[in-house]
């Protein structure tokens, strides 16, 4: 057993209202710079939709992540042989058009325009060329099903749905969408790290945050093609790759990352997970249908004396183990099995988990009659939900519905149980039967309810003491580090080419 | 340490010896004359491009000759009547100013010419080339030498790599040197051609053939071939250049097609194909 600690995340999609506050918080802190205009380390997508960059989930085109071949794991985008033949041009690099051309507006024109018969307007100006542009795409172009005949209908997760289901998704009075906020998953088996020819990307030992060393990056951009979530971006001005850093300067000072801190719907949870690093390769090679369970089995019980002993041996501070014991992520992922990894079939073992969203049941409308729901069981009938189970399974279950159904059933049962307690219009007997069917005890239901609805700041974010002083000791003298570290760059990272 | 110093001094000694020998070789007037003068002059072999140098010291004083050898152009430009006469006789082919020439060498060269003039038969009499008509066999061998399919004995490069000739090769030859179709006429027949081929004197050819001279039994077929070509007449046209251009263009297109096939699975843009057929704004 090789115990390691990972700061891990849960996004509760049932609570997300799609306000994009997280994206703006992140943008203001980290990517409001030249060359980073188009980057959204945090973005919120509407599902069904194509997301950002367009159709990033379509790995037939983007070739991100890992594939299993002859019992081995292989990067889809590059490899020792491929890198030589593609040394001058990476064939699977998304272009700016697949993201969008960042723009601002000519606001000065509103003030300086000569007097005329019409109101002056502020024309959009490209932030890359400085020329006026015709805006064709944006980071959130398909928000709230905008342009759905193009974007929602081309969502790669619709694969495997029947024609009828697809039509129902976009039919009037039946259409449905939910939000899907995304940041870097800080994977256990990161494809970006594996692909970098310069060794510029690394996973921090103490908390598993994946970072790009700005001084080592040589602008190969392999990471951009290799990351299946397209969460590494190339700064065209600096000539370096950049990505979500999980606000490590905030975490090191005990604060939640900006997107977590600012979340209006309080959908985000952050905490430590202990995992067995010896099993990464074995787990990443599991067949699709076993991936979710295999990843869960890697996550270790922080109360198990054996695990605690092994953690001490591996140099993990006791405070980290103690934080792991209080981790809300451990509860959602391992104890309650409510949270699921996104697209684990890319085999990068993402450490950001999603509680799948619930949706209203189908409704139908006959002629001029009022809208009728197809099921009387408004809260219970998961398979009649407007978002097809198959769609959620493609997103969160590697195409297999069992784990998603389990999570949704449990959520529904908890709701039913709480309704019986507080409103009383449903029978407690029925609620308890549903809890049993959903593999959930009343105590667990109460805990889920508390952490979902009444959670405090301290319950949502269990940030471990990072012990940076110890981490730094491995590399240099902390006393010396103290005199050379601080805010900003001592020397700006120069363009590498 | 001492051993190292010894070794170093030995090495530097070797270097010094080599330098002296090398400099002496470069200054050797016989070798210099052979390499630089014989393509235009003979001693007792008759006129080539330049005059026969036999007894030249009796026609003009040494000071004038030394001066002329070192800088022919300056003397001609000064309006010297004798120099102008020579220039006209050489049909206005200017004698080049030779690299490595200095007053000392000029003196030595005139001494050499004087000494050689006294001999019954000078070693610089020039190649005596038969007047008989060449056989088709000789012309064919010359053609092979010109094209490089028959290797030169001393390892020199084939003429075709730098020169063209009318009707030879689909793409013509190299474009570094002039077209050789009518060189036989330009160099005044067999004698001039032979002298040139013995020791080509231009800046580009001398370094190539100085160390890898042509053999007499290679020169003869070459003359035969060049004579034959001149009799056939004509000049190389620009068709070969055009062919070469189209070959390059076709090759580039073929290469691009191959690249396109090899990388056919590359990412060609995702958003744009999705939005194609979208109703344009304002329509």
A54 touches chain B (CB under 8 A): yes
- Domains belonging to chain B, first-starting first, are 26-118 (1.10.760.10), 136-232 (1.10.760.10)
Q: What is the pLDDT of residue B1?
A: 45
The beta strand positions in A201-267, using DSSP E, are 201-203, 210-212, 232-235, 240-243
DSSP-derived secondary structure for A437-492: HTT--HHHHHHHHHHHHS--HHHHB-PPP--HHHHHHTTS-HHHHHHH--SS-SSP
Least confident range of A318-332, B69-83, B242-256: B69-83
> Which element (helix H / strand E) includes A11?
strand A3-12
- H helices within A117-228, ranges in order? 163-170, 191-195, 222-226
**B264 touching A (Cβ < 8 Å):** no
CA distance A229 to A348: 10
Report the percentage of chain A scoring pLDDT > 90.
75
Structure confidence at residue B280 (pLDDT): 52
Please give the structure tokens belonging to residue A48: 């069904």
CATH (residue range A268-460): 1.10.3650.10
ipTM score assigned to the predicted complex: 0.81
Confidence of residue B6 (pLDDT cuts 50, 70, 90): low
Cβ–Cβ below 8 Å for B274 and A151: yes
Across the interface, whether the CB atoms of B269 and A62 are under 8 A apart is answered no
Question: How many angstroms from the chain centroid is the CA of residue B42?
Answer: 19
Phi/psi for A121 (5° steps) reads -120, 160
**B267:A92 CB<8 A:** yes
Q: What is the pLDDT of residue A490?
A: 60
Residue B274: closest CA among chain A residues belongs to which residue? A150
Mutate to test the interface with B, among A81, A148, A150 (most CBs of B within 10 A): A150
d(CA B170, CA B147): 12
What tens digit of pLDDT does each residue of A288-304 get?
A: 999 999 999 999 999 99
| A488 pLDDT above the threshold of 90 | no
Residue B58: phi and psi, rounded to 5, are: -85, -15
Q: How far apart are the first and last CA of chain A?
A: 42
Interface contact B24, partner A, CB < 8 A: no
The Cα–Cα gap between A226 and A232 comes to 9
SS3 for chain B is CHHHHHHHHHHHHHHHHHHHHHHHHHHCHHHHHHHHCCCCCCCCCCCCCCCCCCCHHHHCCHHHHHHHHHCHHHHHHCCCHHHHHHHHHCCCCCCCCCCCCCHHHHHHHHHHHHHHHHCCCCCCCCCCCCCCCCCHHHHHHHHHHHHCCCCCCCCCCCHHHCCCCCCCCCCCCCCCCCCCCCHHHHCCHHHHHHHHHHCCCCCCHHHHHHCCCCCHHHHHHHHHHHHHHHHHCCCCCCHHHHHHHHHHHHHHHHHHHHHHHHCCCCCCCCHHHHHCCCCCCCC
With 70 as the cut, is the pLDDT of residue A281 above it?
Answer: yes
Q: Considering only A79-83, A120-124, A221-225, which range has the smallest mean pLDDT?
A: A79-83
* Six token digits for residue A347: 């085999």
B132 to chain A, any CB pair closer than 8 A? The answer is no
- CB distance A53–B278 less than 8 Å? no
Coil, strand or helix: which one is A254? coil
Question: Is A94–B270 a contact, with Cβ atoms under 8 angstroms apart?
Answer: yes
Task: State whether B274 and A53 contact (CB < 8 Å).
Answer: no
Token pair recorded at residue A165? 């289901």
Tell me the two tokens of residue B162: 């730098």
- Is B266 an 8 Å CB contact of chain A? yes
Q: Tell me: the pLDDT tens digits for A151-192?
A: 988 999 999 999 988 888 877 767 889 999 999 999 999 999
Least CB–CB distance from A55: residue in B265, B270, B278: B270
Nearest-neighbour CA in chain A from B68: distance (Å): 57
In the prediction, which pLDDT does A184 show?
Answer: 97
The CA–CA distances, whole Å, from A266 to A178, A259, A369, A452, A456 equal: 16, 10, 38, 9, 9
pLDDT tens-digit readout, A44-58: 999 999 999 999 999
Q: Which of B263, B266, B271 sits opposite A137 (nearest CB)?
A: B271
The CA distance from B191 to B236, in Å, is: 24
**In the predicted model, what is the mean pLDDT of residues A185-205?**
95
The DSSP element (H or E) to which A75 belongs, if any, is: strand A72-75
Q: Contact A53/B270, CB-based, under 8 Å?
A: yes
Cβ-Cβ contacts under 8 Å, A86 against chain B = 263
pLDDT at A454 over 90: yes
Give CATH 3.30.70.20 domain extents, chain A.
Answer: 3-101+134-259
Distance CA A175, CA A167 (A): 9
Highest mean pLDDT among A88-97, A296-305, A420-429, A469-478: A296-305
User: Residue A160 has which token pair?
Assistant: 């495997």
Pinpoint the residues of chain A covered by CATH 1.10.3650.10: 268-460
- The span from the first CA to the last CA of chain B, in angstroms, equals 90
> What is the C-alpha to C-alpha distance for residues A44 and A20, in angstroms, rounded to an integer?
6
Query: CATH for A3-101+134-259, among 3.40.50.300, 3.40.50.150, 3.30.70.20, 3.60.9.10?
Result: 3.30.70.20
Pick left, alpha or beta for residue B68 (phi over 0 → left; psi -120 to 50 → alpha; otherwise beta): alpha
Query: Between residues 69 and 98 of chain A, which touch chain B (CB distance below 8 Å)?
Result: 86, 91-95, 97-98
Structure tokens at B136: 């088709």
């Amino acid at each position: 057993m090789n115990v390691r600690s990972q700061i891990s995340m849960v996004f509760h999609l049932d609570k997300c209202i799609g306000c994009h506050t997280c994206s703006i918080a992140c943008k203001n802190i980290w990517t409001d710079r030249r060359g980073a205009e188009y980057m959204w380390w945090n973005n919120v997508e509407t599902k069904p939709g194509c997301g950002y960059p367009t159709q990033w989930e379509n790995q037939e085109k983007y070739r991100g992540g890992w594939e299993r071949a002859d019992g081995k794991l292989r990067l889809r985008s590059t490899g020792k042989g491929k890198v030589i033949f593609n040394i001058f041009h990476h064939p699977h690099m998304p272009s700016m058009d697949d993201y969008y051309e960042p723009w601002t507006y000519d606001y000065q024109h509103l003030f300086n325009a000569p007097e005329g018969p019409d109101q002056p307007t502020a024309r959009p100006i490209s932030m890359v060329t400085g020329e006026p542009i015709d805006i064709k795409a944006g980071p959130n172009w398909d928000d709230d099903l905008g342009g759905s005949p193009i974007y929602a209908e081309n969502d790669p997760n619709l694969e495997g749905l029947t024609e009828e289901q697809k039509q129902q998704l976009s039919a009037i009075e039946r259409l449905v969408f939910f939000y899907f906020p995304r940041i870097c998953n800080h994977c256990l088996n990161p494809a970006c790290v594996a692909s970098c020819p310069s060794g510029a990307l690394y996973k921090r030992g103490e908390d598993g945050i994946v970072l790009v060393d700005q001084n080592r990056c040589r602008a190969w951009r392999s990471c951009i093609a290799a990351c299946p979530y397209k969460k590494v971006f190339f700064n065209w001005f600096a000539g370096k790759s950049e990505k979500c850093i999980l606000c490590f300067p905030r975490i090191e000072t005990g604060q939640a990352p900006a997107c977590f801190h600012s979340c209006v719907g309080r959908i985000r949870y952050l905490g430590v997970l202990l995992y067995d690093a010896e099993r990464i390769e074995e787990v990443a090679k599991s067949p699709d249908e076993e991936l979710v369970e295999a990843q869960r089995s890697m996550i270790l019980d922080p109360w198990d004396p054996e695990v605690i002993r092994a953690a001490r041996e591996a140099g993990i501070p006791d405070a980290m183990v103690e934080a792991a014991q209080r981790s809300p992520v451990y509860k959602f992922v391992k104890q309650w099995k409510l949270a699921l990894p996104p697209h684990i079939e890319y085999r990068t073992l993402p450490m950001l988990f999603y509680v799948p969203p619930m949706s209203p049941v189908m409704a139908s409308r006959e002629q001029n009659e009022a809208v009728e729901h197809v099921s009387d069981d408004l809260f219970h009938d998961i398979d009649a939900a407007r978002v097809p189970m198959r769609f959620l399974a493609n997103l969160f279950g590697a195409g297999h519905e069992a784990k998603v159904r389990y999570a949704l059933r449990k959520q529904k049962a908890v709701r039913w149980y709480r309704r019986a307690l507080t409103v009383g219009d449903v029978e407690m007997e029925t609620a308890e039967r549903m809890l049993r069917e959903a593999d959930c005890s009343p105590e667990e239901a109460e805990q889920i309810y508390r952490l979902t609805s009444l959670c405090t700041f301290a319950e949502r974010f269990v940030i471990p003491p990072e012990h940076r002083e110890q981490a730094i000791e491995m590399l240099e003298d902390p006393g010396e580090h103290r005199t050379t570290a601080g805010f900003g760059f001592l020397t700006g990272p120069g363009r590498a080419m | 340490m001492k051993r190292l110093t010894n070794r170093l001094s030995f090495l530097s000694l070797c270097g010094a010896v080599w330098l002296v020998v090398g400099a002496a070789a470069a200054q050797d007037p016989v070798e210099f004359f052979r390499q630089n003068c014989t393509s235009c002059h003979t001693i007792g072999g008759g006129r080539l491009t330049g005059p026969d140098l036999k007894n030249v010291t009796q026609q003009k004083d040494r000071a004038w000759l030394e001066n002329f050898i070192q800088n022919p152009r300056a003397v001609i430009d000064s309006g010297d009547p004798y120099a102008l006469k020579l220039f006209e006789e050489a049909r206005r082919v200017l004698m080049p100013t030779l690299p490595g020439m200095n007053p000392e060498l000029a003196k030595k060269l005139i001494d050499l010419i004087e000494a050689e003039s006294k001999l019954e038969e000078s070693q610089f009499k020039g190649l005596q080339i038969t007047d008989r008509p060449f056989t088709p066999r000789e012309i064919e061998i010359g053609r092979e030498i010109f094209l490089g399919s028959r290797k030169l004995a001393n390892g020199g490069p084939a003429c075709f790599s730098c020169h063209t000739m009318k009707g030879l090769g689909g793409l013509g030859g190299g474009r570094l040197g002039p077209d050789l179709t009518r060189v036989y006429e330009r160099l005044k027949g067999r004698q001039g051609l032979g002298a040139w081929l013995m020791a080509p004197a231009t800046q580009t050819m001398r370094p190539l053939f100085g160390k890898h001279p042509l053999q007499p039994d290679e020169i003869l077929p070459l003359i035969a071939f060049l004579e034959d070509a001149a009799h056939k007449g004509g000049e190389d046209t620009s068709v070969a250049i055009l062919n070469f251009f189209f070959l390059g263009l076709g090759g580039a297109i073929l290469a691009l097609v191959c690249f396109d096939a090899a990388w056919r699975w590359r990412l060609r843009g995702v958003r744009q194909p999705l939005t194609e057929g979208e109703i344009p704004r304002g329509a």
